[in-house]
Amino acid sequence: MATDFVPFPPLAALAAALTAGRTTSRALVEAALERIADPNGQGSTVFLEVDAERARATADALDRLRAAGTVLSPLAGIPVSVKDLFDVAGQVTRAGSRVLADAPPARADAPAVARLRRAGAVIVGRTNMTEFAYSGLGLNPHYGTPLSPYRRNEAGEARIAGGSSSGAAASVADGMAAVALGSDTGGSIRIPAALCGLTGFKPTASRVPRQGAVPLSTTLDSFGPIGVSVSCCALVDRILAGLEPHVPAARPLEGVRLGILTHYVTDDMEPAVAFAVETATKHLEAAGAILADVHFAPLEQLVSLNRFGFSGMEAYAWHRPLIEQHADRYDPRVLVRIEKGARATAADYLELLAQRAALLETAQDTLWRRFDAIIAPTVPITPPRVSECDADDAAYARINALVLRNPSVFNLLDACAVSLPCHPRGQAPVGLMLAAAPHADDALLAIARAAERVLESIR
């Protein structure tokens, strides 16, 4: 029988408990490690590497610093997980693959990891993911598939955590870390956040340095947090961005202009998702937000625009030498997507750059000048069963395309975006996505904090 785990409290509550002496960093880390090691849990699937010895030593050092009056940041002493995509000094960065299992250990931390360490985060380990981050489902045939907490203890009901940051979300949902570092190229933070009932923030792509991580798309990749609240994500985001570690104040919703996308993102939406999103928008309006439907015509062009896509072309350029030597080690469902990029030409790539530039200009006029944020369902379905996703290649491709569809819109628009849980408590997880213009990250998080309060009142 699987054990029901609960997430850690929000970061602010943990920081307050540390300050008041009600807990210690070592105690928090031991709690996380105990949950990872619990044979009734999924720690052995969620984590590809657990750095228990270093985590304990770091926690003890931070406790001594705190006793001496030094606190590096509000994140100091708190257990954090890191997606297997990122370099951690002395560890092998496998990116969820067998292909890189024999690669030499990283010589230095990725800048995102280094910034977390400087803020006093205690890194407990590396989390599982879709191989090379190239799927929204989180299935991994090499290391296992992390699960959503939804109905996990019911026979035959195992649901995907979502991907590609599957282990990142599962680590937070099960209290194996208080917050997780993930990546998002087409929804890989927001999808698992939505399917696990958590909050996930995808920043503007250039906000966080992207060195020291295995790339999927050098154009679209962005790095950000998954946590239990907007404030958790906002704090970690500012640390990752090299900014002062404080959380932007909530912006009252009175007069905030919210645009509701009316097509494309609502196609094939499950009734439970439609109900949760409609209920959420009604309560946001009742709280003072000004809501208006918006039809963004270029969405109909996205299928043709993504014939190869940045991910396909840029991933193939990076993987080509590895495929020539180790094609047999790849997840076949990931390999077939990467190899599509081989058919693209330089002209295709230049045309895609030009089309995206035109799309960004249209979005500026149609979306960002008119609205403070855009609303859409993060994912149009509730967490599907693992058995559905893994039934055959056709089912895998269909469900994968569906879960990636909505969040990938905002990667292409270079927007910042956050997924907030909006489902009735005890029901299947549903995410409400709020997105804003490039570089409006702090402004979006301020709106999201106020929206979160409204959503919590109906959950």
Catalytic residues: 83, 164, 188
- For residue 379, the one-letter residue type is V
DSSP 8-state code for residue 367: I
Element (H, E) at 181: strand 179-184
Query: What are 222's two structure tokens?
Result: 């962005």
Helix (H, G, I), strand (E, B) or coil at 224: strand
Distances (CA, A) of 81 to 87, 116, 199, 218, 414: 13, 10, 15, 23, 26
Q: How far apart are the first and last CA of the chain?
A: 28
Q: Which of 20, 458, 82 is nearest to 281 (CA)?
A: 458
Distance CA 146, CA 123 (A): 19
Cβ–Cβ under 8 Å, residues 94 and 131? no
Query: What are 373's two structure tokens?
Result: 């944020």
Write the CB contacts of 256 (distance below 8 Å, at least 6 apart in sequence): 288, 289, 290, 372, 373, 447, 450
